[in-house]
Amino acid sequence: MLGTIKIDEIYETEITGLENEGSGVCKINQMIVFVPKALPGEKVRIRITEKKKNFARGKIVEILKSSDKRIESKCPYYEECGGCNLRHQTSKENLKFKKEKIETALKRIGKLDVKVEDTIPSLKEDNYRNKVSFKVEDNRIGFYGEGTYQLIDIDYCLLAQKQINDSLNVIKSYLKENDNEIKSVTIKYGNAMDEILIDIYSLNNTDIKILDYLTTNINNLKSVIYNDKVVYGNGYIKEVSNGLMFNVSAKSFFQVNSVQTEKLYDEIIKQSNLSKEDVVLDLYCGTGTITSIVSKYVKKVIGIEIVEDAIIDAKENLKINNISNVKFICGDATKEINKIKEKVDVVIVDPPRKGIDRKAIAIMKKISPKKIVYVSCNPVTMARDLSYLKDLYDVKKVVPVDMFPNTSHVETVCVLERK
């Protein structure tokens, strides 16, 4: 009978595959069970931690037969922390998994049978993140445990760049010595000038006293934001990518893997095959990184973004880089596209994880560019959106880029051409 398993019971089972987020998959009494940090081919004893109507979750109690793809994690917090989830598998296998999850999404959701290129590996597999958000609780700082709200107190994060870990330890020292009501701390690192930005959220305004401690003990501190107000510096750090300089504020989006970002944008340029006669539309343009980088290859770029602060940053980035063939529009893409008078040749779209709005897809079809370059951090919503476009467009290229080593996440560059 389906689902005759009990929470906290121990079961012996064999892992048959990996699901989209990297957990092992098995069946117990006909019910699908997801097991984090388990690998295909492994025989394990698991404890059931959660049971839903159609599936359950379990946790490894003992590995009876180990996969030859299993490696020892270098992170002392890995078993409990929810920050990364594929440290127990070889890098080669992780790259293969990311390619296969895109293939699966395209076939099952997009009903598309297209070739997916091999995943472009990251030059750095650790110490690559230029932004990390930490939780704070009872004078401790770290991450929540996997699937819980239990704080794991950490001294360093292997994914984070060294400068972020150095700043984390200064903050840890302060928290140990001072009672506080700080709830979260985000640390960003800018590679252009070796700068640190710290964004603090607290329930108590008197916690602003941490500012003196930070400015005294972090030499490369450039800016501090406290409860959404800039209290030190100008609110920006600078990031260099593909030969251009960008201002990055606390809330503005910038890819978290600086070195691999260059590879991602190079791939967008390469696969777009742009010409000096092209007019390009960059939807969900954010602070205009792709917009600015693409600009030197084309006649004109129009960037649309609904977040006003992002557009302010984007316009400033144009001045910094002396770019004159870009126009930014602040507003809802579905409304603003209709106002564009130029014939658009290429649309570049890098949407949030939820994908593209159906109205925006309809308008993209209406303006009918010869090419669409879809950049995605979520293969599932990408596959769904491509299925809506396949009546008018053929998928010509799908290139995975490993922006997030040691995790199940992957970035994809997908090129569509009008039929």
Rg (CA), the chain: 23
- Catalytic residue list: 377
